[in-house]
Amino acid sequence: MKKQIFLFSFFACLSFFGSRAQVYYNDAFRYTYRPMPTGSARTLALGGAQGAMGSDAASLAVNPAGIGLFRRAEVAVGLDYGNSLIQSSYLDTDETANRDKIGLSHASAIFAAPQSSAGQTIQFGISYVRTHDFRQDSYYQASNPYSSLADVWTEEAAGIHAKVFESEAANNKIYDLASLAYATFVINPYADDSTQYYTEFRDVNNQLVAPILQEERIKESGSRSVFNITAGGQIQEKIYWGATVGIEVINYERENTYKERLSRTAADGELQAFTLRQRYTATGGGLYLGMGIIVRPIEPLRIGAAIQTPTGFSLYETSTASIESESVGFSKVSASIIPYEYDFRYRSPWRASGSLFWQIKKYGFITADVEWIPYRQMAVSGSDNNFDESGERRAIRENFRNSIQARVGAEARIGSWYVRTGVCYTPSPLRKEAAYYDAMAFTGGIGYRLQGFQLSISGVFARYASLYQPYVSQQYFSPTVERTQQYMQWQVSTHWYF
């Protein structure tokens, strides 16, 4: 699979249908792209616009200066329920898969010191926020009259003598999918040239003997979360400042089950069907620093700015794959590759944000954020000399663009009740095919506050389109799955004040 065929290979990031080599800029994008706002139920309901609002511990990951607006100690926790729905269209056949999910979205504790005689205060806080939720399922299926995944493996095996594959299978040391396909009789060498291969899904004229029934189910799990240790304060209620150390953790897992079956009964002794199962995991963490400031030039207005350094992640990945094949008149045959383990590093881009907050007396407020995300600054590197770092860097620069996420929210106060709404717009980070991954999230919620307690409930709806390509063939038809991804999330947050 060539890296230069970006649109297709990039959106095939969920699949390992190529050789053992991994395309790591796909992982960098997965861990960076964030179309949903994050935070507490209050900040979610405001579209994630929280940079100049302050007084919410979940917002400290956006602008740590917000800690300067706390006047009392606080403990907060939030739980959420979400549903992801992916509609897939593949060769004029539509399928839908959805996934329910529930979990801890944020937790925090803020310690506020009394104001000094000079009008200054110092606050300290610790917080946890889940910034990315990878949990989702997708499914597609259709009859393909043009090509098979087995075609790709014949191309990848070309030039390798069959004796190499024979030796790997005999010693149970299979390293890649082409060798695995050979060991399970999905591909076979020509009798007159043992370095060229064919699949029995094609006849002597190199045409498919019948359409191929294809289907794939993909299950993803995991999250990217941040633990912040933040300190800050204020001067004369005019300048608020803060700094934070962020500890980020990535935990990602994917399981693919891909099946092909000939749409008619194969000839005696020939291939009828095969199933490819794959599992991939990546775990690791890193550190970043964040700094922010909020100024109040006039009583109702706050202006905020914040910057966050890149996070340098150290990640450990594992992958496994197996194939089970069926041939008419024979027992099923199965084999597995040697589990693959590798250490690599991922550097997230810088993030810089500017924000406004306007208090409308005691009736509510409006708030807005813009956040700069320079995707072209993403970087990946490997733990050995075989890693193509320059190629990865070139692919990132050629195929991504820097982006600005915009968030706007408003809150109205009615006695002890609060009504909130907002919107979050995430433009596509792709230089080409910008219609894909161009996301819009609509938010809303309510809150109720007593003397030492606040309860908030929020809802978020987000939607965007993407492409996914099961495989890329150099000679035959390469199919594409068009996907519409929808996310709904409900969150309940409680805040206790002391």
CA separation, residue 385 to residues 291, 379, 382, 390, 474 (Å): 36, 16, 8, 12, 28
Find, among 97, 77, 195, 187, the residue nearest to 138 by Cα: 97
CA–CA separation, 483 and 494 (whole Å): 36
Under a CB-based contact definition with an 8 Å cutoff, are residues 169 and 183 in contact? yes
CA–CA separation, 18 and 96 (whole Å): 26
pLDDT at residue number 115: 65
Residue indicated by tokens 């009798």: 191
Q: What interhelical angle do 389-399 and 24-32 show, nearest 10?
A: 50
CA–CA separation, 12 and 221 (whole Å): 17
CA–CA separation, 380 and 359 (whole Å): 43
pLDDT at residue number 52: 96
Q: How many helices (H) and strands (E) does the chain have?
A: 7, 21
**pTM here?**
0.91
Pairing of strands 439-449, 364-373: unpaired
Q: What tens digit of pLDDT does each residue of 270-317 get?
A: 999 999 999 999 999 999 999 999 999 999 999 999 999 999 999 999
Domains and CATH numbers, the chain: 6-497 (2.40.160.60)
Q: Which DSSP string corresponds to 351-370?
A: EEEEEEEEEETTTEEEEEEE
Burial class from Cβ neighbours inside 10 Å (0-12, 13-18, 19+) for residue 92 reads exposed
CA separation, residue 459 to residues 77, 303, 375, 405, 422 (Å): 16, 27, 28, 19, 10
Question: Which stretches of the chain drop beneath a pLDDT of 70?
Answer: 1-22, 114-119
Q: Which helix (H) or strand (E) holds 149?
A: helix 149-157
DSSP 437: T
Average pLDDT over the chain, rounded to an integer: 92
Range list of β-strands (E), 113-211: 120-133, 136-144, 188-190, 193-198
Q: What tens digit of pLDDT does each residue of 446-457 get?
A: 999 998 899 999
pLDDT at residue number 12: 41
pLDDT at residue number 16: 39
Under a CB-based contact definition with an 8 Å cutoff, are residues 470 and 15 in contact? yes
